[in-house]
Every structure is written in structure tokens, then in C-alpha cells.
Amino acid sequence: MPEHPYVVLSCAVSLDGYLDDATPERLLLSNDADFDRVDALRASCDAILVGAGTVRADNPRLLVRSADRRAARVARGEPASPLRVVLSASGDLDRKAAVFTAAPPDSDPPDSDPPETVVFSGSLSDLLDDLAKRGVRRLMVEGGASVLTAFLAEDLADELQIATAPFLIGDPAAPRAFGPAQFAQSPGRRMILADSASLGDVGFARYLAARERSTDGDFLRLTIELSRSSPPSLRAYSVGAIVVDGDGEVISTGYSRELLRGLGDPDKNHAEEVALAKLTRGAAQPDPRLASATIYTSLEPCSPRASRPLSCTDHILAAGIPRVVLALREPALLAACDGADRLRAAGVEVVELPELAYLVRAVNDHLLQ
């Protein structure tokens, strides 16, 4: 049985947490910049899911809007738009709804057939099994309220991307994004803030689910997903790094080119460097948790480095971290890297999980195939 797809929940809310108002007209919460972010997220997924309530209320098309993004998907051998999935127990759906009939504009690329739409009525866990068998590795869930709540209540969401519109709705008859429910992501289990930004007047935040993740593979998978927050650069890798203490708690995160005051030109920031700088900056004593920590990094820590005097290998050794887990050795493309060998020679345990390397290659397909 293939692994469950990685599940990204996506929604826009008002400041008081509503997904919509109570009127039949569709309420616009996002702005153009945020719709473009959502479009990029759609283009990065293999399937997009909504509940039947959203089809009935909003009649969405669930297509990739940008012709460039559709063309890039086709160039990668993917359909122009992801598979569309509707959750419905009743089957009460208008087959003329846009989700079944709308196709990407047939001019570019020449893909005039409407992409396939699947209606699913079983449990969420069966749904994820079914999608995995269809080759879906990343699933985007775009709402509405009951579906978002169900994924969180069943602890099946890996990530939440949430846009906050700068106004209040205040009507208890309107749908709230989440709950009420018993959530796994309770105050005792905080999520990981992987990215945040202001997109015009809309606030954007990206959270990774802090599940009970005991395996190296789970943490490394999260780390690779984190690398997607890296601002794009054609001449540099997008890397993620997560530091986990001996109790399995995530204590720091970083990604390539992440902005961190005090580090200098953010374009030169490396993921491991940022994650460690957050823990060590300005501290009089080394953080005691580092002595039993593991740093997960999607790509081998750099050893020689042109842009700054200290490499990420140097930073890891200086921090006294005893364990490193990585997915992909750095190819001899931009530099000759021997970070893994240098770390091992210094007594650091280095675990390589090459079975996840294909995910790192997918994030870095501008440099690696």
C-alpha cells in the first residue's frame, strides 16, 4: 500500500475565524496576491479536494489559473491541473457544476479535456488510501468548514496554510473554519510556524502539524516540505532544516534565504545556519538541548562555501549537535561538498534516507532532475 498523500489544508478566514458570511453570495476574503499564492499551491499538488457543501455554495472550478504554471506542470509530465476530488456522502451534486465541467483554457497548453473529478463518500482514511493508489502524493484541501474540521479532528492534516482578511464577521450563523471538535493540535501540541508574510492587507501563515512523529522519516518529510518556503532562486538550492531535541520536540526551523535579523544578506542564508542561529544568537550559554538534538536537513550540509566564512558543517560542529539526518547528498553541481564525511569524521552520527531524495529533487527541479 503506497504511503498516504501529504495533506495541505488551505483556507482564508476573517479576523474572527469565519470562512464566509451567512449570505448566499460568495464573500471575498483574499486579495489578488493571495489568490496567486493559492494558485501556486494548487499547481504544486496532485489533487485538490473540497466538500460537497462548497460545491453547492460557491461552485468553484478548482483549476490552476496561471498558464505558466499549467505549462510547467505539463513539462514535468503532469496533467495541466490537478485531479479534482469532491467529498459527498449524499451524492447530492449538480453534474453541471464547474468542478465537473470546467477545463483549463484549451489554447495553452493544448489540453482541452476537463481534468478528471472524483466523488468520494467513504472515510477520510479510505479516501487517502484510494488517492495514494492513484499516485497522489500531495493533496490540497480547500474547505469548507466541515471538511477542514474533519481532517484536523482525525489528525490527518500535515499542514495548514491560512490567510487572514482584515475584517470581522461576527455572525454566529456564518461558518467557522474549524470546530467545534476535539483536535489533536491542542494547546499541548503546538504547530510549527513554517512561514509568514503580509500579502497586501492579507496576513498569511503556514503551519506544519506537530503530530506524534517518532520516526526520522516523518521529521525529514516535514523538513523537505519546509524547504518549499524558500524564496525561489535559479542558482541556489531550496533546503529546509529542523532541529529536534532529545524528547522529540521541534526546537527550531530554517529554510534557504529565510530572513533573520542579524545574519546579513538573506539571499546568502542557508537553512541549517538559520535554524541554528535562532537557537544560539545572543545566548550567553549554549542551548543545553543541542547536546542531545538531531538536525534534519533536506540536503547535505555544505562544507566549503563561497558566500560566508563558516559552512553549515562548521555551524553544526560548533553547536555540538550529535546527530544529522539528511535525504540527499549534495551533487557536485555548485560546489564539491563533503559535509556528511566531515561530520562523520568528527564523531557525528549521520543518517541518510535516500528514499526521500526524490522529494528534494522535486522541490529543486530548477537544478536537479
Ligand X SMILES: NC(=O)c1ccc[n+]([C@@H]2O[C@H](COP(=O)([O-])OP(=O)(O)OC[C@H]3O[C@@H](n4cnc5c(N)ncnc54)[C@H](OP(=O)(O)O)[C@@H]3O)[C@@H](O)[C@H]2O)c1
> Are 7 and 128 within 8 A, CB to CB?
yes
- Return the C-alpha cell found at 88: 459527498
How far is the CA of 60 from the CAs of 108, 243, 331, in angstroms? 21, 39, 42
140 touching ligand X, by CB under 6 A: no
Nearest to 208 by CA among 12, 353, 357, 7: 7
Residue 66 site contact among ligand X, Zn ion, none (CB < 5 to 8 Å, cut-off depends on kind): none
Tallying the residues shown for the chain, one arrives at 369
Number of residues that bind Zn ion (CB under 5 A): 3
60-64 contact pairs (CB < 8 A, 24+): 60/98, 60/99, 60/142, 61/98, 61/99, 61/102, 62/98, 62/99, 62/142, 63/102, 63/103, 63/104, 63/115, 64/39, 64/104
Residue 89 site contact among Zn ion, ligand X, none (CB < 5 to 8 Å, cut-off depends on kind): ligand X
Q: In terms of CB distance, is 50 or 64 closer to ligand X? A: 50
Smallest gap from Cβ 239 to Zn ion, in A, equals 7
53 touching ligand X, by CB under 6 A: yes
Q: 15: which residues sit within 8 A by CB, 6+ positions away? A: 164, 165, 166, 167, 168
150 touching ligand X, by CB under 6 A: yes
302 touching Zn ion, by CB under 5 A: yes
Structural element, H or E, at residue 316: helix 312-319
Q: In terms of CB distance, is 119 or 191 closer to ligand X? A: 119
Residue 270 site contact among Zn ion, ligand X, none (CB < 5 to 8 Å, cut-off depends on kind): Zn ion
The stretch near Zn ion (CB under 5 A) out of 86-94, 184-192, 297-305, 357-365 is: 297-305
121 touching ligand X, by CB under 6 A: yes
C-alpha to C-alpha distance for 324 and 346, rounded to whole angstroms:
12
Q: Hunting for cell 492513484 — which residue is that? A: 134
Phi, psi of 226 (to 5 degrees): -60, -35
Nearest to 193 by CA among 178, 208, 182, 179: 208
Residue 143 site contact among ligand X, Zn ion, none (CB < 5 to 8 Å, cut-off depends on kind): ligand X
> Are 268 and 306 within 8 A, CB to CB?
no
Nearest to 88 by CA among 129, 60, 47, 52: 52
Q: In terms of CB distance, is 147 or 312 closer to ligand X? A: 147
Smallest gap from Cβ 292 to Zn ion, in A, equals 23
Q: In terms of CB distance, is 71 or 184 closer to ligand X? A: 184
168 touching ligand X, by CB under 6 A: no
Q: In terms of CB distance, is 9 or 293 closer to ligand X? A: 9
Q: In terms of CB distance, is 244 or 312 closer to Zn ion? A: 312
Smallest gap from Cβ 291 to Zn ion, in A, equals 22
C-alpha to C-alpha distance for 211 and 322, rounded to whole angstroms:
24
Smallest gap from Cβ 210 to ligand X, in A, equals 23
146 touching ligand X, by CB under 6 A: yes
Residue 302 site contact among Zn ion, ligand X, none (CB < 5 to 8 Å, cut-off depends on kind): Zn ion
257 touching Zn ion, by CB under 5 A: no
Residues lying near Zn ion in the complex (CB under 5 A) are found at 270, 302, 312
Residues lying near ligand X in the complex (CB under 6 A) are found at 11-12, 19-20, 29, 50-54, 57-58, 87-90, 92, 121, 124, 142-147, 150, 175
